[in-house]
Amino acid sequence: MATWADGVGSVPLRQTTLAQAQRISDERGLGFNRAELFRLRQYYRAEGREPTDVELAGLAQSWSEHCSYKSSRPFLRRAFGRLRPPGRVLGTGDAGVMRFEPGFAYALRIESHNHPSAVEPYGGAATGIGGILRDVLAVGAKPIALSDPLFFGPLDRTPDSVPSGVKTPRYLAEGVIAGIRDYGNRVGVPTVSGGIYFDPAYVVNPLVNVGCVGFLPRPRLRPNRARAAGDRLVLVGGLTGRDGIGGVAFASKELTERSESESRGAVQLGNPILKEPLIQACVEAFDAGLVQGLKDLGGGGVATAAGELALAGGFGLHLDLARVPLREEGLLPWEVWVSESQERMMLDVRPRDLPRLEGIFRRFDVPLTDLGEVTRGPFESIDWNGVPAAHLRLRFRIEHAPLRRPTRRRRPSRAVAPAVPSDDLRTLVEGLVLAPDSLSREAVIRVYDHEVQGRTVVKPLHGRVTSPSHGDAAVLQPRPESSRGLAITTAAHPWACRDDPREGAALVVEEAARNLFATGARPDALSNCLNFGNPEDPRVLGDFADVTEGLARAARGIGFAVPSGNVSFYNGGLGAEIPPTPVLLATGIVPDLSFAVTTDLKAAGDALYLVGRSRPELGGSLWARRESRPGLEVPRADPSAVRSAGERLLFAGAKGLVAACHDVSDGGLAVTLCEMAFGGGLGFSVDLARTGLDDPALALVAEGGSRWVVEVRSDGASRFEKTLGRTAWARIGSVEATDGEMRWKGTTRTTVPLASLYERWRTGLGLP
């Protein structure tokens, strides 16, 4: 190729030194390291020419950490490669696909939009929702539920107490919540699960993780690969602009005080009003058999979507970038190639099906453009108005060899738990209940539409309309013709993972399982979003290795499949770095919706049971965080015991013996009991000595052991106890009409006025 299209430039790379090549990469924001630059020079020396700016832009996207998983791939394959049992797992593409019932399946995926949300919280969060919807759509599923686990610094941080160039946590939180609200509500997908967590470690780099679940008839399942040479590559959806250029490169480096000014253009602009008809048009096209394969246009834009789609099928591609419909004039070819403008999908379509496809998208008023074709390979050939702009071996561009970075495993602390002061139990309980990580999220949940589509049977808030409390999981009815339900929950515990990455990660899986069992669901699948710091630091990658091992071990023990996931590195900057933060979106199957369980207490006189064995570990607990006691021993995970006890709870629930159930997690028994009482507008009386721990304060705050508090009708107590079999349990007290009485060996130690505490708990967060 002697002549390139107008607007396409050659970049002098072949004869440069590596230092000179590195300057070129830095000036252009390409993000190549020295080894990658050496590989590029060798390739183009063999080609006998210089690279074009279109080629380098595409290579930079595909070789970024965000797209290539070059640092994480060996660990992920080793940990999760065998957690995709055939028969249950039907697909592992842009989203994982799981069997639901004969003829039907569901899809799940969780990923991050951390850096964009740190720079522009409203737009970053909104386009995070847009992207996760497309991931689920890209396997043929219609999105039916959203989830939003969020991590911020303490809300009381003022502008003069955060580093230069960093926004205050309150500003970030309000913007992120508004972005999720506006996008999710307008596109018509309910937000049913999530969480909001606070820690100084997230001041510089907040985490905005977004999850989605979709539903589909099995014949609609579509692969993320091209079907045959000669098929057309069709771009559908939004117009292309300069927003989002370099987004994956931005996500593959740490934040600095200049990130706002330098990288704002890397944040995409969402359009939920277009997304809804795009979803509808795609689903109709799937059902008509007009789409053979597809990819969503996320990180890397057309370059990544078209390249990965073709290579996955074993093909090449030929397309003309000048055909891409633009939102603004003057975009250069390389900008069109890698722009991450939102609301776009790339479809593989047989030529004979193109006219019918055009008719569907025209009816929904969604743009459709035939960009080119799938070829026999092995090259990708990119034109601009019919004149060459790039010509590369596609495998060379798309596949980056995994890196073997060094790891340094830490030795977890085994510090013995200190004595918990027990002279004022009421103050202890109120302090835990009113801690920022415990306060009611009702005000935030209310701004999200969790009822749209009419599938939400068990809602995010449980209990009375006038005094709702937190639930463990939401339950959806995907098909009105079936009584089978799908439970959805999220789980995270960065504090336990900071103290002990391997055991902390296993505890996160256990918490997800407990949430599902508590709602009457059998754990089925999980998708993970693994948020970490700089992988070039051996300590960070050592934590990553430990976390993946802990997640995999617990998933195997409980029976979770792991069909999808995401890795987010480089979360940090300005001298700060987040703790290891694996976040899970987990699903479970409810065999019969009539036996779904909520957390709110139902009737005075009912018995209260603590199911599971109490242990005195306090590592990572809410009490330890409030008392600034890091490094304590993290609770030991026992996945097989969780599974066994959970199955017993499901058996009891199917007999109609369980009136309410809530897992014991952050804040220990103190927070669990109060949340159950809040939702029911009732009280409780419990004897803390029956937990088996040797101190009343420790019994209230300990989070060790996987446990649930279960309300059982008084006439069903003996049958419930028989149903539990060898599972550890204790009858700790009863439901009362008002207030929360804490006893120790029969003697009342304190009484908590629940009505007044509830009002402070309900209004204390101050968001949105």
The pLDDT tens digits of the residues spanning 104-138 come to: 999 999 999 999 999 999 999 999 999 999 999 99
Indicate the pairing of strand 96-101 with strand 104-112.
antiparallel
Residue 419: exposure state from Cβ atoms within 10 A (0-12, 13-18, ≥19)? exposed
Is 646's pLDDT higher than 60?
Answer: yes
Whose CA is closest to 491, among 509, 465, 469?
509
DSSP state letter for 688 = G
pLDDT digits 0-9 by tens, 168-191: 999 999 999 999 999 999 999 999
Give the C-alpha separation, 141 to 135, whole Å: 9
Nearest residue to 503 via CA among 620, 663, 630: 620
Torsion angle, alpha carbons of 316, 320, 321, 324, to 10: -110
Burial class (CB in 10 A: 0-12, 13-18, 19+), 143: buried
| Angstrom distance (rounded) from CA 104 to CA 219 | 8
The answer to whether 473 touches 488, Cβ cutoff 8 Å, is yes
Known catalytic residue at 470: no
Residues 212-245 as b/e (b if ≥16 CB within 10 A, e otherwise) read bbbbbeeebbbbbbbbebebbbbbbbbebbbbbb
Question: What is the C-alpha to C-alpha distance for residues 255 and 287, in angstroms, rounded to an integer?
Answer: 43
Percent of the chain residues past pLDDT 70, beyond the cut:
97
Spatial contact of 100 and 574, defined as CB atoms under 8 Å apart: no
Cα 153 to Cα 197: distance, rounded to the nearest angstrom: 8
Nearest to 193 by CA among 135, 140, 132: 132
Q: What's the token pair of residue 282?
A: 């795609």
Nearest-angstrom CA–CA distance, 353 and 351: 5
Beta bridge partners of 343: none
Element (H, E) at 532: none
CA 317 to centroid of chain Cα atoms? 32
Rounded CA separation 513/560 (Å): 9
| Residue from 49, 48, 13, 47 nearest 28 by CA | 13
Q: What is the mean pLDDT of the chain?
A: 95
Strands 747-752 and 740-744, how do they pair? antiparallel
Instruction: Judge contact between 304 and 370, C-beta under 8 A.
Output: no
Whether the bond into 378 is cis, omega within 30 of 0:
yes
Task: Please choose, from the candidates 67, 124, 61, the residue with its C-alpha nearest in 3D space to the C-alpha of residue 260.
Answer: 124
Distance from the Cα of residue 637 to its chain's centroid = 22
Both tokens of residue 748?
């009342």
Closest by Cα among 589, 594, 602, 531 to 559: 589
pTM, entire model = 0.96
Place of tokens 């799938």: 374
Distance CA 667, CA 30 (A): 45
Active site residue: 66, 400, 450, 662, which one?
66
Q: Reply yes or no: is the peptide bond before residue 406 cis, omega within 30 of 0.
A: no
> Is the pLDDT at 591 greater than 70, yes or no?
yes
pLDDT tens column, 252-266: 567 776 656 554 555
Phi and psi for 41 in degrees, rounded to 5?
-60, -40
Distance CA 476, CA 486 (A): 5
Cα–Cα–Cα angle for 445, 447, 448, rounded to 5 degrees: 70
Q: What is the pLDDT of residues 657-710, one digit of tens each?
A: 999 999 999 999 999 999 999 999 999 999 999 999 999 999 999 998 899 999
- Please name which of 49, 166, 58, 750 lies closest in space to residue 400, comparing C-alpha atoms: 58
565-588: burial string, b at 16+ Cβ within 10 Å, e else: bbbbbbbbbbebbbbbbbbbbbbb
Instruction: Tell the residue number behind the tokens 């700060």, with chain if given.
Output: 576
pLDDT digits (tens, 9 = 90+) for 275-307: 999 999 999 999 999 999 999 998 899 999 999
Asked if pLDDT for residue 400 goes beyond 60, the answer is yes
Q: How far is CA 678 from the centre of its chain?
A: 29
Beta-bridged to residue 743, according to DSSP, are: 687, 748
Token reading at 558? 């409980």
Catalytic member of 113, 450, 462, 470: 113
Q: How far apart are CA 527 and CA 654, in angstroms?
A: 27
DSSP state of 615: B
DSSP code at position 257: T
Who has greater pLDDT, 265 or 563?
Answer: 563
DSSP summary character for residue 168:
-
Averaged pLDDT for residues 57-67: 94
In the chain, the domains with their CATH numbers are 18-62 (no CATH), 599-763 (3.90.650.10)
Whether the bond into 86 is cis, omega within 30 of 0: no
Which two three-digit tokens encode residue 116? 């964009």
**648/417: higher pLDDT:** 648
Half-sphere exposure of 420 (CA within 13 A, CB side): 26
- Res. 270: pLDDT tops 90: no
Q: How confident is the model at residue 427 (pLDDT cuts 50, 70, 90)?
A: very high
More confident residue, 384 or 247: 384
Residue by residue, DSSP assigns 367-401 as -EEEEEEEESSSEEEEEETTEEEEEEEHHHHH--P
Nearest-angstrom CA–CA distance, 497 and 548: 11
Q: Is the pLDDT of residue 1 over 50?
A: no
Query: Does residue 414 register a pLDDT over 80?
Result: no
pLDDT beyond 50 at 40: yes
Which amino acid does the sequence have at 453? Q
The three state secondary structure string of 706-764 is CEEEEEECHHHHHHHHHHHCCCCEEEEEEEECCCEEEEECCEEEEEECHHHHHHHHHHC
Annotated catalytic, 450? Answer: no
**Residue 84 — very low, low, confident or very high, per pLDDT cuts 50/70/90?**
very high
Work out the angle at residue 571's Cα, subtended by the Cα atoms of residues 568 and 575, and round it to the nearest 5 degrees.
160
Terminus-to-terminus CA distance in the chain, angstroms?
Answer: 57
Residue 163 CB neighbour total at 10 angstroms: 14
CA distance 100 to 236: 29
pLDDT interval class at 548 (50, 70, 90): very high
Rg of the chain taking only CA atoms, in angstroms: 27
Condensed to tens digits (0 to 9), the pLDDT of residues 431-483 reads 999 999 999 999 999 999 999 999 999 999 999 999 999 999 999 999 999 99
Quote the distance between the C-alpha of residue 526 and its chain's center: 10
